């Protein structure tokens, strides 16, 4: 998978003491620091880049949630790949 892909990541953390939004913010911080192109939406964050690079960010985002105090995570991933590069703009440009 050497082409650019889009991967949508939704992490739903739970904690008895920490609001989920604060934990999700930790995951988004990891994504923002990754250098990958990304777009935060109300239900998920879409990343654009090399498959292996994005999957490493997914792992780090989950670890960040646990480090911040999450007790459990439900993680949902959607992947769009193609024989050519995939771009966030291909799906969003007519709406922005």
pTM for the model: 0.92
Quick one: pLDDT band at residue 92, thresholds 50, 70, 90?
A: confident
Q: What is the CATH number of the domain that holds 60?
A: 3.30.70.930
Does residue 36 fall inside a structural domain? yes
Mean of the pLDDT values across residues 65-82?
A: 97
Per-residue confidence (pLDDT) for residue 93, from 0 to 100: 77
- Number of domains into which the chain is organized: 1
Residue 66: per-residue pLDDT: 98
> 21-73, pLDDT tens digit by residue?
999 999 999 999 999 999 999 999 999 999 999 999 999 999 999 999 999 99
φ/ψ (deg, to 5) at 17 = -125, -15
| Residue 92 covered by a domain | no
Stretch (H or E) spanning 20 = helix 20-33
> Does 74 fall in a domain?
yes
């Amino acid at each position: 998978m050497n082409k650019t892909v889009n991967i949508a990541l939704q992490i739903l953390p739970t904690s008895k003491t920490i609001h989920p939004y604060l934990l999700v913010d930790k995951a988004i911080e990891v994504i923002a620091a990754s250098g990958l192109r990304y777009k935060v939406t109300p239900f998920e964050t879409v990343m654009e880049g090399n498959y292996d690079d994005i999957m490493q960010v997914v792992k780090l985002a989950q670890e960040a949630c646990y480090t911040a105090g999450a007790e459990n995570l439900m993680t949902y991933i959607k992947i769009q790949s193609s024989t050519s590069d995939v771009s966030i703009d291909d799906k969003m440009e007519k709406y922005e």
